[in-house]
Structure 1
Amino acid sequence: MRANILVVEDDDINFLVIQKILSSSYIVERCVSGYDCIKFCEAKIPDVILMDVEMPGLNGLETCKALKNKESTKDIPVIFVTSHHEDNEQTMCWQAGGSDFVIKPVNALTLQHRVDAQVKLQSQYAKLKSMAFIDGLTQVYNRHYLTSELEKRLSYAKRNGTAFSLFMADIDRFKKYNDFYGHLKGDECLKQVAQLIETNHSRGEDAVVRYGGEEFVCIMPQVDKHGLETLTSKLKQRIENASIPHDGSPFGRITLSIGGVYSNVVSDANDQKWLQVADEQLYISKESGRNCVTIKEL
Structure 2
Amino acid sequence: MDKVTMRANILVVEDDELNYLVIHKILASHYCVERCISGYDCLQFCESNLPDVILMDVEMPGLNGLDTCKALKKSEATKDIPVIFVTSHHEDHKQTECWQAGGSDFVTKPVNALTLFHRVDAQVKLQRHYAHLKSMAFIDGLTQVYNRHYLTSELEKRLSYAKRNGTAFSLIIADIDWFKNYNDFYGHLKGDECLKQVAQLIEGNHSRGEDAVVRYGGEEFVCIMPQAGEHGLETLANKLIKRLEDAKIPHERSPFGHVTLSIGGVYSDVVQELDDQKWLQLADEQLYLAKARGRNCVSIKEL
TM-score interval, normalised by the smaller of the two chains: 0.5 to 0.7
Question: Residue 299 of structure 2 corresponds to which residue in structure 1?
Answer: 294
What pairs with 1:268-279 in structure 2 (closer than 5 Å)? Answer: 268-279=273-284
Find the aligned partners of 1:159 and 1:269 in 2 and give their Cα distance: 11
Aligned to 1:138: 143
C-alpha spacing 1:234/1:127, structure 2 compared with 1 (3 Å)? closer
Whole-angstrom distance in 2 between the partners of 1:185 and 1:256: 17
Aligned with 1:212: secondary structure? coil
CA apart distance, 1:239: 0.7
Residue correspondence of structure 1 range 228-243 to structure 2 within 5 A = 228-243=233-248
Structure 2 residue matching 1:245: 3-state secondary structure: coil
Query: What are the ranges of 5 or more consecutive residues in structure 1 without an aligned counterpart?
Result: 1-37, 46-125
Aligned partner of residue 230 in structure 1, secondary structure: helix
Tell me, which stretches of 5 or more residues in structure 2 are unaligned? 9-131
Q: In 2, distance between residues paired with 1:232 and 1:127?
A: 25
> How far does the alpha carbon of each residue in 1:112-162 deviate from its partner, in whole angstroms, 9 at most, with x for none?
xxxxxxxxxxxxxx799623x110000000000000000000000011110
Q: In structure 2, give the amino acid aligned to 1:143.
A: R
Aligned length: 180
Question: 2:136 is aligned with what amino acid?
Answer: S
Q: 2:244 aligns to what SS in structure 1?
A: helix
Equivalent in the alignment of 1:119:
none
Relative to the length of structure 2, the TM-score reads: 0.58
Cα distance, 1:252–1:44 mapped onto 2, change above 3 Å: farther
d(CA) in 1 for partners of 2:139 and 2:244? 22
Instruction: Specify the code of the residue in structure 1 equivalent to 2:212.
Output: A
Change (3 A) 1:176 1:264: same
Residue identity matched to 1:187 = D
Instruction: Show structure 1 runs of 4+ deviating over 4 A.
Output: 126-129
Instruction: Give per-residue Cα distances to partners, 1:263-287, cap 9 Å, x unaligned.
Output: 0010111101100000000000011
User: C-alpha separation between the residues in 2 aligned to 1:193 and 1:200?
Assistant: 11
Structure 1 residue 280 and structure 2 residue 243: aligned?
Answer: no
CA distance in 1, matches of 2:174, 2:218: 11
Any idea what SS the aligned residue of 2:253 has?
coil
> So what's the TM-score if we normalise by structure 1?
0.58
How far apart are the structure 1 equivalents of 2:235 and 2:134? 35
- From 124, 131, 155, the counterpart of 1:150: 155
1:192 and 1:44, CA in 2 relative to 1: closer, same or farther beyond 3 A? farther
In the TM superposition, what is the alpha-carbon distance from 1:41 to its structure 2 partner? 2.1
Partner of 2:168: 163
| Residue 120 of structure 1: aligned partner | none
Inter-CA distance 163–44: structure 2 relative to 1 (3 Å threshold): farther
Give a deviation string over 1:161-194, Cα, whole Å, max 9, x none: 1000000000000000000000000000000000
SS in 1 for 2:144: coil
1:1-298 correspondence to structure 2 within 5 Å? 38-42=1-5, 130-131=136-137, 133-298=138-303
